[in-house]
Amino acid sequence: ASNKKLLVLPGDGIGPEVMREAVRVMGWLEQNRAVRFDISEDLVGGASIDVHGVPIRDEVIAAARAADAVLFGSVGGPKWADVAFENRPEVAILRLRSELELFANLRPATVLDPLVGASTLKPEIVRGLDIMIVRETVGGVYFGEPRGIETLADGSQRGVNTEVYSTHEIERVARVAFELARKRQNRVCSVEKCNVMESGLLWRQVVTRLGRAEYPDVELSHMLADNCAMQLVRNPRQFDVIVTGNLFGDLLSDLASMLTGSLGMLPSATLGTADADGRRPALYEPIHGSAPDIAGTGKANPLAQIASLAMLLRYSLGLDDEAALIERACTNVLASGLRTPDIMSEGGTPVGTSGMGDAVLAEL
Amino acid sequence: ASNKKLLVLPGDGIGPEVMREAVRVMGWLEQNRAVRFDISEDLVGGASIDVHGVPIRDEVIAAARAADAVLFGSVGGPKWADVAFENRPEVAILRLRSELELFANLRPATVLDPLVGASTLKPEIVRGLDIMIVRETVGGVYFGEPRGIETLADGSQRGVNTEVYSTHEIERVARVAFELARKRQNRVCSVEKCNVMESGLLWRQVVTRLGRAEYPDVELSHMLADNCAMQLVRNPRQFDVIVTGNLFGDLLSDLASMLTGSLGMLPSATLGTADADGRRPALYEPIHGSAPDIAGTGKANPLAQIASLAMLLRYSLGLDDEAALIERACTNVLASGLRTPDIMSEGGTPVGTSGMGDAVLAEL
Ligand SMILES: CC(C)[C@H](C(=O)O)[C@@H](O)C(=O)O
Ligand SMILES: CC(C)[C@H](C(=O)O)[C@@H](O)C(=O)O
């Protein structure tokens, strides 16, 4: 098999620290399994602003397009709080999503048994939790036009954004959700605010029609976004796959992640459409942010970044065995009691970023 | 003192059942305290659709405008799921908010000590919780134009909504939050998505400016909406007053309510601007919905509706003592162990809607 081209974008804050551990795991794979990588690395976010004046360069977008997959860290931090809106660190990830048309963000929220105590929710509510949120990521209010801030004659201002979804955009992300459900518990819950927003009403109609026509075997339900926020707290295990728009998905997937109490553990994948050769653009990133408060202290948990690599192996490279190997190594390390500060609990053995990386490699 | 004009709008589902108990409390006040009401009642929501073909009549809007305050139940239910978008039951509450310019929705999320076990969160996380969410309710994506669903030449469709906020709209709701904070713990957290939406960026700028100019004594912080959803689960007691837009407020206030585990207990107030005579339009409603699944079974918890009446007495009629009397009666009834099914826990004494009402009256 030819070498796999990976683009590694560590970003800001703890991004580079946790990425280092993921890269070590790639090294292990090259030495011990039948897989070879061409790894290139570049700056994004604040790190790119500092050097190049922009959060992401066109060359980096092009490299991402040419790669088999992108492994992303995290961007942003207080250092860049006053950068102009068009040039803020977040533009790096927004441009990658938009220009590679990475429209489906897969965000698992799972509770591993050894970490059930890390949740602020009662163990009987979250034990065994396994939700997959499919969030649309290239449409909605994130990219809708018109947008901007205008100053009126009297000096007052108006800020405007546009929420817009088309049949096609809704169908393609719903399809991803239905397909995933078939490999899971076969249930999709579609979420919007159709009692207030016409874009949500169209969303519900399109998902309903698609479900009836192409996925009659998948159980489809609908929920208002405010109710979904409540139900995630009341009884999160009622959900299998949730599919929703960009903005609701942003809040609800973060909420679902926090139910697990272990943000530092959770990976995500963002997928585009396969081209004629079957190549599908894809980006993998931990769901945690750049955590500037602990950057440089060696305390960050690298497991979400390593788990993102495992997702990359599975979804982009078809290396299911290697993905499972890595996931098992992470679970075993946790079962042995090692804990970074974010998931520490009584009786755990404290360990830092590189110590956790060492343990995963030893386990492998 | 002249009679207080109250408009009572029970609505659908459990609305009429819980409203009955609140009206009994009004009767008690008339007999035992120096207050007289002129109470008129009307249909809203599905109940109004069934009789009048519309979810709310212009006469009802006019009556709401003329009243000292409106006590609202809840609207909606599966029976009206197929009513046209412009005529759905929710239009009743949306028109009341919009036409009376009820721009500030006050949503307390508090955990009473006897109910700390009702939460799905661990008691040490929610004990003593006392958050006040101030949600903007006449702007944002709920009312922004253009909006609608359009069909394109190729038969595909686009759903559009517009998120828009002006300086004036942001200032007036932020002022309500700052004023409330001064009577509480003096902290305001303003929530938006300024890293993605210009309307959120303007929101942050306007709140910051207002805070510096007029409320320098109040501690102001800012949080992204996705992070706020997480922080409400991780450590909800970090918040005092939260101020946010219509859509984020819808999700976050429901989420905050659910942290308490006792939706059936929580009231809300929605306030407008005082006119030259100091009359301020106001509507009070429980935060729970119409709960069609238990309507007619006599199981609904009337305490949120009764607590909404207490808020009405305090904010609209200046009857602080009477409000406190009612609130104390509700707390005592809970302390005595009476529980409707929604807040039932081991050792509680089961009671229904009217039984709970009886107990509150007995306590008074
Ligand atoms: C960094 C930011 C633009 C982003 C978003 O809002 O989508 C983040 O919160 C996420 O969820 O990936
Ligand atoms: C009934 C509905 C229109 C309403 C809203 O979305 O504002 C409700 O969810 C609320 O929070 O009061």
Reduced to 3 states (helix: H, G, I; strand: E, B; else coil), residue B24 is: helix
Length of chain A: 364
Cβ neighbour number for residue B146 with a 10 Å cutoff: 12
Whether residue B317 has pLDDT greater than 90: yes
Identify whether the C-beta of residue B284 lies closer than 8 Å to the C-beta of residue B269. Answer: yes
Phi, psi of B116 (to 5 degrees): -60, -30
What's the rounded Cα separation, in Å, for the pair B219 and A281? 45
Residue whose structure tokens are 């974008």? A9
- pLDDT tens by residue, B221-247: 999 999 999 999 999 999 999 999 999
Local confidence band at B277 (pLDDT 50, 70, 90 cut-offs) = confident
Interface of B with A in 183-202 (CB under 8 A): 193, 195-202
Between the CA atoms of A76, A80, A85 and A89, what dihedral angle is there, to the nearest 10 degrees? -30
Kindly give the distance from the C-alpha atom of residue B287 to the centroid of ligand 2, in angstroms, as a whole number.
Answer: 9
Which residue, among A353, A356, A293, A299, has the nearest Cα to A12 in the 3D structure?
A293
Q: Whose structure tokens read 């309507």? A: B295
**Which of the residue ranges B38-42, B136-140, B276-280 would you say has the lowest mean pLDDT?**
B276-280
Of B38, B113, B217, B226, which is the active-site residue? B226
| Cβ–Cβ below 8 Å for B159 and A226 | no
User: What span, in angstroms and rounded, lies between the C-alpha atoms of A47 and A74?
Assistant: 11
CB A149 within 8 Å of CB A159? yes
In sequence order, which residues have a C-beta less than 8 Å from that of residue B66 and are 6 or more positions away?
B5
* B259 contacts chain A (CB < 8 A): yes
A235 is in an annotated binding site: no
Where in B193-348 does DSSP place strands (E)? 219-224, 241-244, 267-271, 282-286, 338-339
B349 pocket-lining for ligand 1 (C-beta < 6 Å): no
Asked if residues B46 and B292 have their Cβ atoms less than 8 Å apart, the reply is no
Give the atom of ligand 2 at the shortest distance from the alpha carbon of B76. Answer: 1
Q: How confident is the model at residue B88 (pLDDT cuts 50, 70, 90)?
A: very high
Q: Computed from CA positions of residues B17, B21, B22, B24, in that sequence, does the dihedral angle turn out positive or negative?
A: positive
To test the pocket of ligand 1, the residue of A93, A97, A141 to mutate (highest count of ligand atoms within 8 Å of its CB) is: A93
List the one residue out of A307, A252, A317, A253 whose CA is nearest residue A284: A307
Contact B200 A159 (CB under 8 A): yes
Q: Any idea what DSSP says for residue B141? A: G
pLDDT digits (tens, 9 = 90+) for A319-352: 999 999 999 999 999 999 999 999 988 889 999 9
Distance of alpha carbon B170 from alpha carbon B139, whole angstroms: 9
- What value does the mean pLDDT of chain B take? 96
The CB density around residue B362, as the number of other CB atoms within 10 Å, is 11
Q: How far is CA B343 from CA A124, B1, B117, B298, B339, in A?
A: 18, 39, 9, 15, 6
Cis amide bond preceding A146, omega within 30? yes
Residues of A in contact with B209 (CB under 8 A): none
Distance CA B12, CA B48 (A): 9
For chain A, the distance separating the N- and C-terminal CA atoms, rounded to the nearest angstrom, is 23
Instruction: Give helix A246-259 / helix B225-234 axis angle, nearest 10°.
Output: 20
Closest ligand 2 atom to the C-alpha of B268?
Answer: 12
Q: Is the pLDDT of residue B278 over 90?
A: no
- Cβ contact B252:B191 at 8 Å: yes
Share of chain B above pLDDT 70, in %: 100
Question: Which regions of chain A are under pLDDT 50?
Answer: none
Domain ranges of chain A: 1-106+265-364, 130-259
| β-sheet bridge partners, residue B8 | B41, B71
Q: Would you call B198 and A148 a contact, using CB atoms and an 8 Å cutoff?
A: yes
Q: Token pair for residue B97?
A: 């908010």
B141 touches chain A (CB under 8 A): yes
Q: Sign of the CA dihedral B162, B165, B166, B169? A: positive
Query: Residue B88 CA: which ligand is closest?
Result: 2
A87 labeled part of a ligand binding site: yes
Nearest to B356 by CA among B290, B289, B306: B306
- CB within 8 Å of B219: residues ≥ 6 apart: B186, B187, B188
How close is the nearest chain A Cα to the Cα of B67, in Å?
Answer: 27
Calculate the alpha carbon distances from B312 to B94, B129, B250, B283 in Å. 19, 22, 21, 8
The letter for the amino acid at B321 is: D
Which pLDDT value is given to residue B345? Answer: 84
User: Is B136 a pocket residue for ligand 2 (Cβ < 6 Å)?
Assistant: no
Which ligand has an atom closest to residue B92 CA?
Answer: 2
Q: Give pTM, 2 decimals.
A: 0.96
DSSP string, B324-339: HHHHHHHHHHHHTTEE
Contact B162 A159 (CB under 8 A): no
B49 and B89 Cβ atoms separated by less than 8 Å: yes
DSSP A104-172: EEEEEEE--GGGGGGSSB-HHHHTT-EEEEEEE-SSGGGTEEEEEEEE-TTS-EEEEEEEEEEHHHHHH
The residue count of chain B comes to: 364
User: Whose alpha carbon is nearest atom 8 of ligand 1?
Assistant: A250
The predicted pLDDT at position B309 comes to 98
Report the candidate in A363, A343, A310, A320 with the shortest Cα–Cα distance to residue A108: A310
Question: Residue B1 above 70 pLDDT?
Answer: no
Q: How far apart are CA A296 and CA A20, in angstroms?
A: 13
CA-nearest residue to B77 within chain A is A195
Structure letter (DSSP) for residue B299: -
Half-sphere exposure of B237 (CA within 13 A, CB side): 11
Distance CA B238, CA B249 (A): 18
Q: Which two tokens stand for residue B299?
A: 């199981």
CB contact under 8 A, B230 and A141: no
Measured between beta carbons, the chain A residues lying within 8 angstroms of B196 are: 90, 94, 141-142
Is B120-260 the same fold as B1-103+267-364? yes
Shortest alpha-carbon distance between residue A169 and chain B (Å) = 9
Q: How far apart are CA B225 and CA B251, in angstroms?
A: 10
Is-contact A169 A230, C-beta < 8 A? no
CB of A225 within 8 Å of any CB in chain B? Answer: yes
Q: What 3-state DSSP class applies to B212? A: helix
Q: ∠B267-B268-B270 over CA atoms, to 5°?
A: 160
Which sign does the torsion angle of CA B100, B220, B231, A283 carry? Answer: positive
Please report residues of B whose CB lies closer than 8 A to that of A159. 164-166, 197-203
**DSSP three-state, residue B131:** strand
pLDDT on residue B291: 94
Q: How many CB atoms lie within 10 A of CB A52?
A: 14
Please give the distance, rounded to the nearest whole angstrom, from the Cα atom of residue B250 to the centre of ligand 1.
20
Q: Whose CA is nearest to atom 6 of ligand 1?
A: A250
Closest chain B residue to A89, measured at CA: B195
Q: Is the CATH number 3.40.50.970 carried by domain A1-106+265-364?
A: no
Query: Does domain B1-103+267-364 correspond to CATH entry 3.40.718.10?
Result: yes
pLDDT band at B258 (very low <50, low <70, confident <90, very high): very high
Quote the pLDDT of residue A346: 85
pLDDT of residue A278: 85
Assign domain B120-260 to its CATH superfamily: Isopropylmalate Dehydrogenase (3.40.718.10)
The answer to the question of whether A296 is labelled as a binding residue is yes
Distance A45 CA to ligand 2 centre (A): 37
Cβ atoms of residues A7 and A62 within 8 Å: no
User: What architecture is domain A130-259?
Assistant: 3-Layer(aba) Sandwich (3.40)
Q: How many CB atoms lie within 10 A of CB B208?
A: 14
